[in-house]
Each structure stands twice: as C-alpha cells, then as structure tokens.
C-alpha cells in the first residue's frame, strides 16, 4: 500500500503520526512522483476532511520541498498561462489538472512542480475554509438565518421594552452590553485553530481568562473594555456609530449594509448580520431596508447601534474584534427576543450561540480568528477543550471533532480561592507597540500539524503536559509554578512549532527583565498568535507596582532603540486589569439616563452642524441639549468641543494631536537636504495627469517580440569551476568590492510600515537575531578571511535609511566586519503622488490578480472602490501629503543607487583608498545568498563583460520580469514593461538583481574617468543625467501605512516614479552577460510569509554556512 495513504488512514497513532519529510526522503524522484499521483487519486475520492486535507498538504510538500528541489529534475520550464489564470481565479482543481497534463506532455520540471505545489497549498486552505463555513451555517440556531428569504418571513421583532418610553421622557430606552476581552494562559500551540480542534480534539486545549482593562497611567478605572448600545429611533434607517473609530453612518439600503469596504464600520455591519437582525440570506435581494425595519420595529422607525472600545490598542492579542462581535451579537439578540433575559447575563446555550455567530461574523466580514477568541462572553477562568463529533453534529462523518469547543468555567475545587488576586497582583500585561500580521503564522501551524515534523510534533505533545501543569498551578494557587510553565511553553513548544512567533524586540525585553529583576522574574507569557504586541510577564507580587513601571520603561527604551528596524504602530503601554467574573452583561437605561457615551455626541454634533436644523428631528436636538447640560456638570465640555473642532476642521488626529504643519516643516527639510528637483517634479506631475506616463504606458509596444532566451545566452554557475582560479586571484589581490542596495524600506516586507528593511532582525542564527545587513557583512567577512583579502563593502542608502544605518553600524562596529565599509547617501528623492484612477483600475482590473476567498474578495473590491473614490477626492496626481513626512517621499529607484556613487564622492573615496578595485558585486538587500563567488567573478572577468547579471530558474511565485530576447536582443525585461501578461510565464529565468560590474568601463559609459570623480559636481550631474535619459521611467503603485488613533492603521496606494537598474541590460553599447545560479543563491526575501519554506528547503542553513558572525 502507498506509504502516504497508509499513514493518513491508519488508526494506529504510531503510523498516523509519521513525518511526511522522513518518509519522502526514502524515495527517488521518479518513485516519489508516482506515489504522489496515487495520493492525488486518493484525496479526490475520500469524503473525510482530515484525510483529504492531509493528503493535499502531503502533495504540496512533496512537490515543493522534494521534487522541485531534486537535482535530477530539470530546473527550468514553462508555466501554461491557462493554469496560471485558473490558479489566480481560485480554480485550483483546474490548475492542478492543467499542470499535470503539461507534465505528461512535456515531462517534469521544477517550474511546473512549483505551480502544482502552489495549487495544492491554496486548495487545502480553501477546503478548510469551506468546511468552517458549512459548520457555522449548519449550527443549531444559525440555520434559519440562511433560509429566510423575504422580510415577511423574518421571525424577529424588537423587544417591546425598547419601544416603551419612561413617563414624561422623550427618550427611548438604551440597552447597553458590557463585555470583557479574553487572555489565554496557554493555547497549547495554537490548538484553537479550527482545523486542529476538528481533527485533534484531544489536543485542542486552552486556558482562557475574561478580563477588564484600563491603561496604566491613563485610565482612572478598570472596566469591561467593550461597550455596545442599541435603541430605536424615529427615522427609518439603521444608524451605526463606532466611537473608537470616530465614525458614524446612516444605512439606507441592504447594499450598503453588505458592503464591508466602503467605511470603517465593517465589523459593526458583520455583527448586525450575524446576530440575525438583518440575516445573511437578505444579501443581494434588493428588499427595502425601510420596510424590513418597519416590520421589525414600527412604521417610520429604525434602529441605532453604537460601539465603543475603550481605547484598547489594536494588536493587543486580547481578541478585541471577536469579543466586540460577541458583544454586538449578544446585544442584538437580547434586543430582538432571542435570549431568555433582556438584562443581566447569558445562559450557557446562549453563550455558545453567540460564539458560533461571532465565527459567522468574522467570515462575513472577511476576517478570522480561533474558537477561543469569543471567551470574553463567558465569566472568569475557563478551560476550553475540543469535543468529539457525535451523530447529529454538522461535522459527523467529516471530522473527528466539532467546530465549537466546550467551555468549562473553573470554580470550586478546580481552582484556588485566591487565584484571581494572585494572578492580577503578579502578571504585568502589556502591549509592546508592534504591528504584526498573524495570518501566515496560523497557516504555518496547520501545515506543521498535518506534515508531522518530528520536532514540531514532539513540541505539540509537550503543550499538553504544560496545559495540565497550568491547571495544577491554578488549583494550587502557585504563581511561580504558573509563570515557570508559561515561560517553558514560550521557550520550547511555541518557538519550536513557529520560530517566527518571536521577535528581536520580545527577546530583548525578556533578557533585560531577567537581568534586572533577577529572582523576582517568574516567567514570560505570549498572548494570542505571536509576540511583540500583547504580552505578559509574571513578577514577584510583593513588588508588582514597581515592576509594572519598570516593564513600561523597558518597553519604551527598547522600542526607541529598534523603531528604525521593526514595525511599531504605537507607543507601548502597560495595563491595569482584573478578572471579569460575570461575563458579558447588559443593562437598560431609561428616562433621563437613556443617553449614549459622551464621545458619541462629539461625533454626531460634528455631522449635524452641516445639516439644515429643520431637517434634524426634535428628539435628537433635545437629546443633545440635555447632554450639554450634563457635560457642564461633569466637566466634559472641553473634550466635547475638542472632538467637534477636530472632526470639523481636520487640523489634527484627535487621538495623537500630531499637527500637520510640523510634518510639513519636516517635509520641507527633507527636500532641501536631498536636492529635491521642483521643476522636474512638476514636469512629472503634468506627464502623469495628462496620461503620458502611467502603468499602461510602462509597457513596451504590443508589436514587441518577446522570446525566451536560448541555452547559449546563459552560462550555468555549476559549469564555471574552471574559471574559479581567475576569481580567486582577483579576490586575493583586493580587486573586488560589494555594493548592498539598502535605500528602500521593503514595502512588501512590512506592508508599507516604512521601517528600514536592511536593519530588520528577522531571523535567529546561532541564537541571535540577525538583520539583512548583518548577514551580508558576515558573508563578506567569510570571503575576506578565507582569502586573506581586504574587501570594501559599500552600502547604498537614501534619505529614509542613511542615518539609521549609519547609527547601527557605529553602535555595532560594522557588525564585527573589519574591512572598509562605505555608506553611499542618496542624492535623488521623489515626492509621492495620489494615484490616477486609470492607474488604479489598470492595476486592479487589467493586470493579473489573485482572487481571494469569497467574502474577503467582496471586502477587497469594496476597499478598492473606496481607494478610487479617495484618489478622486484628494485630487489625482496631486502630492501625497496625508502622512508623516518620511512617508511622503521615496527613492527614485535602484538605478540611482548606483549613479549616486558617482555624484556623492563615495566611489571616488573607495577608489582613492583602494585603487586596486576593478569590480563591484551589486546585490539587493534581500538577495541573501549572494556572495563573492570566485567562479562567477572569474567568468565575469574572463568574458570581458561590463555587466554580468545573475538570474535564477523561474518559479510560479516569481513576478516582475525576467531574462528575454526582446526583438532579438538579450536583456532583462522588467515586469512593468512587458506588453502581454503571458510573456512573463514563457521566460525561463528570473532576475536576481545581482550584478558584477567592471568599474572603469561603466565610468566610460557615463563619459567619466576615475579622476573625474574627484572633480566638478556639475560635470558629474550632467554625466548621470545623460545616461538617465536613456533609461525608461516607470510609474509604480506602492502601499503606505497611515497610522492613527490607538494602533489603527490604514493602507493607501500611492504613485511613485522609478528607474530600475536592470534596464542597463537594454543598452546596446555595453557588453552584458548572464549567469544562471541556484535559487539558494539568487532567491529574494520579499515577504515574511516566505520564511517558513525558506527554512524547510534548506535556504537558511545555506545562508548561515556562508556567514562568519
């Protein structure tokens, strides 16, 4: 029997838990391919969810980490465009069929195997998402919401009490829900991910505490951080207000309610729908919202829903969004008679229904979380565990476990009577300020669980023991034991299963606290999906208040040290907190007390002053008048006025008070210090606005012939061993230097956060977090020591990166590199533009786009339409100024990083101090495998090339151009310039950007000599300008983050202008050559989601082997 199928289907745990990687290593490539084909047939026919998904991930892993990397599999091939389109369109089965048919017709190759691996990977998570949706829809209490088709069938009505005004009062009652958030003491290795609970219920175990919060040093009281409100209104609308997001909207139709991307109210809308108030089955029915409200409330009347998160920062790891959904759903279920009691707590069956609908709400809104996340709806400390599927469950026959777990509130003999006080007087809860995307980590957890790597599986077994230890510590009231076990959980199981859960920032905080607190340090606690944001630390209760202040100081100082290198969204905070012992709780406010929170009125008055007073109902005017009287009594008048002024005049962010004029002053300084060319900028703006340049104009003419290169156009690095001697002699003679391009901020790496990618300490090697720049200098050090050579290392910087890199190199003594290091400061910057609508539409509608999961795709389309509206409103092609100064500008592309060497005196200084240097190896900061390879250098010198570019065999994820014959001329062609989308997939090689440069011939191209570099600045500028005119200018769209409030982040598209280095290969008057190198050497790290595969395929170990730290 096929060993993989046997492993998947065996009832014997010893067999079932075998590691895929260990099994696959025993096969030859041909044997493995045959076994995977059998496995593909199996996964198509099995009805069992676990068997199907595990088989698909086996297929992914087999193609990605074995066949794609096998030495006897051809490295290059072609991706059929039809399969590529199917993959982007989420037609994964069709893509797999197309790719397998291509293998059958033309034979196997690593390029096709990359397409198969990607298709299987996407398919596995699509199947899981579909099952979660099915289970949620099939849950008892949810089914009716997908069956009711018309307003006349809608079974719920507003609770009569909400329609009864108190005697002599104009105001309708306000129902308020107060809900805590949740904190986990252990999630047993992310076992609350839906699939783990459904397949491995015995290992799905969480200890979860409902907590109330206040920010230390800011809030006077500790209270439930989530408050939601509902009342009826005498207008036929659904009025939604989010106080923390400072926004309000009257919803008049269903289309707006089901649009989750056109405002900040997506979560509130999702809660309204998931509660059943407006059931999901009403989407797209074109029914009248006014009529629905008339039936539910009364003719001419509507409903108002208000939410308030008490300024708990985003990324807290307290599952704020899920518990806010739970709060909204609880509130609206009470308000429509779906619970036994209007006020007070919920019954257990009602809490379970709320949790189920919260999962539904996350799906509807295009987000996601774990099944423990709605734990704030329950009271106290809970043990939440997976349950086995029984007859009648939606999961019966599909999976071993159920979607929803069992919640057991720990009480009586299960818990020490003083445990609440003991924990709250020892555990320092904090937010480190970092913004992190947990999504990729949750996918990695599922992969590792199903592939059963030996270390990861052993670590998962340890989480079960730690869970039992923590339960024991809670029963015994032993805080030191509790802290020791959360620390043990962090140090081994969590970091073994997912190393990326840690950050350099986190490790620094732990190390500093251990050193300073000594025996008073009890242990670290990771909250939620990863560290850096919400975290905890157990300390000696006798000095709790002292250590709380010290932890805050450590967070602030460490954040200041690392803010250039890591994506911080806000200033760190420490919390005051307590355990919430009653769960989500509602109260009814009537008569003069039937008011909304004070901030509500600041938001609404700002909107109402824009209206005709006669159009505002008398009740609304009376309510505001009543509130202003109370505001005077309670000293709320000034904060109210401040909010109104901020909302009306948009002078500053009312949360941060960051004044735009200060950023404008900084912006002016950046322009002066970096030689901003105002005349050229206005010329570019005119070209952009008139459509002479733009995304579609980046492309070559449609008649351009694009062909793949011939085998004679490229040499293979493995075949160049005979030329190694030439390279070695050049290294020994000190004739070669390195140029690391570090002017950019890696917008994809931190999703537009604007940190210095070169300094980002992203990976732990030899027990220490290393940055991109440190790794590159460590490689140069290795080569220098091996050949006893002096190797100058240049680092090209920009206005964004120069000072932070200079400071870091000074602090670390060039990361221990003893050779000469030169910084090449940028001399060219561009002002970013608000993009043109035609460019946004071209990028989103005409260029290939990966389709997302159904509801996420709806959200994305809505957001994109909002971005188009934003661009129109701001003025297409105007300067982008709605951000901090540093985010308003960009370097003008890496072509200028080389030409800057000529203008800023850096190359002159290097050649003056190292006149023997003749060759420079240029590489991108994220091409980690590039080093001074003697064979590549030797070939470059022997060939007589001015420029020798390194390329790698293409994989399906490689987008952005490649090596081509363009009208017969061999050159690197940028993806932006390709006239047809399918052209790129026909190119066998992808550009790594690594280039071997002969210094003197390159200077000759610019009309310069070494001596000229020391001369007239005007001459150098003219020489650069002359060659620059020969380079194409591209319009690109980049994402930038705009931060506001308490860790809130918006991502905006901006247009910027770039010239790219690889277009030098298009010049016909210099000799260029091309070396195909292994992907270990040429792979670029563009996205943190690549990291886990980068470790698994051996890339990390390869990079480490090149380094001397």
Same domain, 539 and 644: no
In the structure, what pLDDT confidence band is assigned to residue 437 with cuts at 50, 70 and 90? confident
Q: Model confidence over 272-310: pLDDT tens digits?
A: 999 999 999 999 998 999 999 999 999 999 999 999 998
pLDDT of residue 367: 67
In the structure, what pLDDT confidence band is assigned to residue 638 with cuts at 50, 70 and 90? low
Q: For residue 645, what are the domain limits? A: 612-649
Same domain, 174 and 198: yes
pLDDT of residue 649: 59
Same domain, 442 and 536: yes
The single residue listed with the structure tokens 């400071």 is: 807
Look over the chain and give the mean of its residue pLDDT values, rounded to a whole number. 92
**CA distances, 887 to each of 5, 564, 685, 818 (Å):** 52, 13, 18, 34
Tell me, what CATH number does 275's domain have? 3.30.230.120
Average pLDDT score over residue span 492-518: 96
Last residue of a domain, one of 535, 560, 579: 579
- For the ranges 157-171, 251-265, 1032-1046, which has the lowest average pLDDT? 1032-1046
Quick check: is 991 in a domain?
A: yes
In the structure, what pLDDT confidence band is assigned to residue 657 with cuts at 50, 70 and 90? very low
Distance (Å, rounded) from C-alpha 145 to C-alpha 131?
Answer: 18
pLDDT of residue 21: 95
Average pLDDT score over residue span 694-711: 94
Q: Which residue has the higher pLDDT, 619 or 178?
A: 178
In the structure, what pLDDT confidence band is assigned to residue 140 with cuts at 50, 70 and 90? confident
Same domain, 126 and 271: no
Q: Which residue has the higher pLDDT, 568 or 162?
A: 162
Quick check: is 98 in a domain?
A: yes
Same domain, 110 and 156: no
Quick check: is 520 in a domain?
A: yes
**pLDDT greater than 70 at residue 1037:** yes
Quick check: is 543 in a domain?
A: yes
**CA distances, 388 to each of 202, 206, 249, 266, 1019 (Å):** 8, 16, 44, 34, 78
Same domain, 244 and 355: yes
Q: Do 931 and 780 contact (CB within 8 A), yes or no?
A: yes
Last residue of a domain, one of 100, 118, 138: 138
In the structure, what pLDDT confidence band is assigned to residue 653 with cuts at 50, 70 and 90? very low
Same domain, 812 and 691: yes
Cα 12 → chain centroid: 39
Q: Model confidence over 335-370: pLDDT tens digits?
A: 999 999 999 999 999 999 999 999 889 888 766 667
**pLDDT greater than 80 at residue 1093:** yes
In the structure, what pLDDT confidence band is assigned to residue 655 with cuts at 50, 70 and 90? very low
pLDDT of residue 636: 65
- For the ranges 163-172, 739-748, 1075-1084, which has the lowest average pLDDT? 739-748
pLDDT of residue 656: 43
Quick check: is 188 in a domain?
A: yes
Quick check: is 300 in a domain?
A: yes
**pLDDT greater than 50 at residue 654:** no
**pLDDT greater than 90 at residue 466:** yes
Same domain, 702 and 631: no
pLDDT of residue 625: 83
* Three-class DSSP category at 241: strand
In the structure, what pLDDT confidence band is assigned to residue 608 with cuts at 50, 70 and 90? confident
pLDDT of residue 413: 94
Last residue of a domain, one of 138, 154, 180: 138
* Per-residue exposure over 921-957, b if at least 16 CB sit within 10 Å of its own CB, e if not: bbbbbbbbbbbbbbbbbbbbbebebbbbbbbbbbbbe
In the structure, what pLDDT confidence band is assigned to residue 566 with cuts at 50, 70 and 90? very high
Tell me, what CATH number does 909's domain have? 3.90.550.10
What does the angle CA 466 – CA 471 – CA 474 come to, to the nearest 5 degrees? 125
pLDDT of residue 648: 61
Q: Model confidence over 1039-1068: pLDDT tens digits?
A: 888 877 666 778 899 999 999 999 999 999
Question: How many independent structural domains does the chain possess?
Answer: 4
**pLDDT greater than 90 at residue 675:** no
pLDDT of residue 645: 63
Q: Model confidence over 207-256: pLDDT tens digits?
A: 999 999 999 999 999 999 999 999 999 999 999 999 999 899 999 999 99
Nearest to 758 by CA among 895, 875, 926, 633: 926
Same domain, 123 and 158: no
Name every residue whose Cβ is closer than 8 Å to that of residue 689 and which is 6 or more positions away in sequence.
Answer: 836, 876, 877
Quick check: is 867 in a domain?
A: no
Same domain, 624 and 680: no
Quick check: is 546 in a domain?
A: yes
Distance (Å, rounded) from C-alpha 1065 to C-alpha 929?
Answer: 22
pLDDT of residue 650: 56
Same domain, 166 and 68: no
Same domain, 376 and 327: yes
């Amino acid at each position: 029997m096929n060993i993989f199928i046997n492993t998947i289907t065996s009832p014997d745990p010893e067999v079932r838990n075998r590691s895929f990687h260990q099994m696959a290593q025993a096969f030859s490539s041909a044997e493995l391919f045959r076994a995977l084909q059998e496995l593909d047939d199996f996964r198509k026919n099995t009805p069992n969810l676990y068997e199907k998904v595990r088989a698909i991930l086996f297929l992914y892993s087999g193609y990605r980490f074995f066949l794609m990397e096998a030495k006897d599999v051809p490295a290059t091939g072609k991706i059929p465009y039809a399969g590529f389109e199917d993959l982007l369109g989420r037609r994964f089965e069709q893509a797999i069929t197309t790719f397998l048919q291509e293998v059958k017709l033309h034979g196997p190759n690593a390029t096709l195997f990359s397409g198969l691996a990607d298709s299987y990977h996407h398919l596995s998570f699509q199947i899981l998402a579909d099952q979660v949706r099915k289970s949620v829809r099939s849950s008892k209490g949810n089914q009716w919401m997908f069956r009711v088709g018309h307003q006349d069938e809608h079974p719920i009505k507003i609770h009569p009490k909400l329609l009864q005004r108190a005697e002599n009062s104009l105001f309708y009652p306000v129902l308020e829900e107060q809900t805590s958030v949740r904190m986990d003491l252990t999630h047993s290795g992310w076992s609350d991910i839906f699939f783990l609970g459904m397949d491995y219920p015995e290992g799905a175990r969480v200890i979860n505490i409902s907590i109330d919060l206040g920010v230390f040093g800011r809030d006077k009281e500790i209270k439930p951080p989530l408050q939601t409100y509902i009342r009826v209104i005498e207008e036929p609308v659904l009025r939604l207000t989010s106080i923390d997001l400072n926004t309000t909207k009257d919803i008049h139709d269903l289309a707006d309610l089901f649009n989750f991307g056109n405002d900040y109210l997506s979560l509130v809308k999702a809660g309204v729908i998931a509660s059943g108030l407006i059931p999901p089955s009403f989407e797209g029915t074109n029914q009248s919202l006014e009529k629905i409200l008339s039936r539910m409330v009364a003719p001419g009347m509507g409903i108002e829903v208000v939410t308030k998160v008490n300024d708990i920062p985003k990324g807290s790891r307290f599952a704020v969004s899920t518990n806010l959904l739970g709060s909204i759903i609880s509130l609206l279920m009470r308000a429509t008679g779906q619970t036994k009691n209007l006020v007070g707590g919920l019954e257990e069956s009602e809490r379970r229904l709320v949790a189920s609908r919260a999962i539904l709400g996350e799906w509807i809104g295009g987000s996601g979380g774990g099944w423990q996340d709605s734990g704030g709806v329950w009271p106290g400390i809970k043990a939440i565990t997976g349950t086995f599927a029984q007859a009648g469950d939606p999961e019966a026959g599909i999976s071993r476990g159920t979607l929803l777990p069992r919640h057991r509130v720990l009480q009586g003999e299960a818990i020490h009577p003083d445990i609440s006080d003991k924990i709250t007087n020892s555990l320092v809860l904090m937010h480190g300020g970092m913004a992190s995307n947990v999504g990729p980590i949750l996918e990695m957890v599922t992969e590792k669980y199903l592939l059963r790597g030996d270390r990861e599986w052993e670590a998962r077994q340890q989480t079960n023991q730690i869970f039992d230890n923590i339960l024991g510590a809670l029963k015994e009231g032993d805080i030191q034991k509790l802290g020791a076990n959360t620390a043990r959980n962090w140090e081994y199981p969590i970091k073994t299963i997912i190393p990326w859960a840690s950050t350099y920032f986190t490790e620094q905080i732990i190390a500093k606290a251990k050193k300073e607190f000594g025996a008073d340090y009890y242990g670290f606690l990771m909250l939620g999906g990863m560290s850096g944001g919400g975290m905890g630390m157990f300390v000696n209760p006798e000095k709790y208040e002292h250590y709380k202040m010290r932890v805050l100081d450590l967070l602030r100082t460490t954040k200041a040290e690392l803010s250039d290198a890591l994506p911080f969204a806000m200033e760190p905070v420490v919390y005051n907190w307590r355990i919430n012992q009653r769960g989500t709780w509602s109260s009814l406010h009537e008569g003069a007390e039937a008011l909304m929170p004070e901030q509500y009125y600041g938001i609404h008055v700002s909107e109402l002053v824009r209206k005709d007073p006669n159009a505002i109902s008398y009740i609304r005017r009376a309510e505001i008048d009543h509130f202003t009287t109370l505001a005077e009594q309670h000293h709320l008048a000034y904060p109210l006025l401040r909010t109104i002024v901020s909302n009306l005049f948009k002078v500053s962010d009312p949360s941060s008070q960051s004044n735009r004029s200060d950023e404008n002053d900084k912006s002016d300084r950046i322009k002066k210090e970096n030689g901003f060319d105002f005349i050229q900028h206005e010329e570019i703006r005119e070209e952009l606005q008139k459509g002479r340049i733009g995304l579609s104009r980046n492309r070559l003419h449609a008649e351009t012939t694009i062909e793949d290169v011939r085998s004679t156009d490229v040499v293979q690095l493995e075949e160049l061993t005979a030329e190694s001697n030439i390279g070695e002699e050049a290294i020994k003679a000190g004739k070669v230097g390195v140029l690391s391009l570090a002017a950019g901020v890696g917008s994809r790496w931190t999703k537009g956060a604007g940190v210095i990618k070169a300094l980002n300490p992203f990976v732990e090697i030899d027990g220490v977090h290393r940055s991109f720049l440190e790794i590159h200098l460590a490689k140069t050090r290795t080569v220098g020591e091996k050949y006893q050579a002096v190797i100058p290392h240049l680092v090209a910087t920009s206005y964004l990166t120069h000072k932070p890199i200079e400071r870091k190199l000074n602090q670390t003594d060039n990361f221990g590199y003893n050779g000469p290091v030169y910084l090449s400061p940028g001399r060219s910057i561009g002002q970013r533009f608000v993009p043109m609508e035609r460019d946004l539409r071209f990028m989103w509608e005409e260029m290939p786009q990966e389709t997302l999961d159904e509801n996420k795709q709806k959200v994305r389309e809505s957001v994109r339409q909002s971005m188009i509206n934003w661009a129109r409103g701001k003025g297409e092609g105007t300067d982008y100024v709605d951000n901090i100064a540093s985010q308003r500008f960009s370097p003008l592309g890496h072509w200028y990083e080389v030409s800057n060497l000529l203008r800023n005196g850096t190359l002159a200084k290097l050649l003056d101090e190292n006149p023997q240097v003749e060759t420079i190896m240029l590489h991108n900061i994220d091409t980690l495998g590039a080093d001074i390879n003697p064979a590549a250098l030797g070939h470059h010198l022997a060939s007589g090339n001015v420029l020798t570019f390194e390329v790698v065999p293409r994989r399906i994820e490689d987008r952005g151009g490649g090596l081509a014959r363009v009208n017969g001329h061999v050159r690197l062609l940028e993806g932006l310039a390709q006239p047809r989308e399918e052209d790129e997939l026909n190119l066998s090689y992808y550009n790594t950007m690594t280039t071997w440069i002969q210094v003197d011939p390159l200077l000759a191209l610019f009309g310069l000599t070494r001596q000229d570099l020391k001369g007239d600045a005007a001459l150098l500028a003219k020489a650069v300008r002359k060659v620059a005119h020969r380079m194409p200018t591209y319009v690109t769209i980049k994402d930038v983050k705009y931060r506001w409030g308490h860790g809130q982040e918006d991502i905006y598209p901006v247009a910027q202008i770039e010239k790219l280095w690889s277009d030098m290969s298009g010049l016909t008057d210099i000799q260029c050559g091309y070396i195909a190198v292994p992907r270990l050497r040429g792979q670029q790290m563009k996205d943190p989601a690549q990291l886990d595969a980068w470790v698994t395929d051996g890339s990390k170990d390869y990079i480490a082997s090149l380094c001397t730290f």
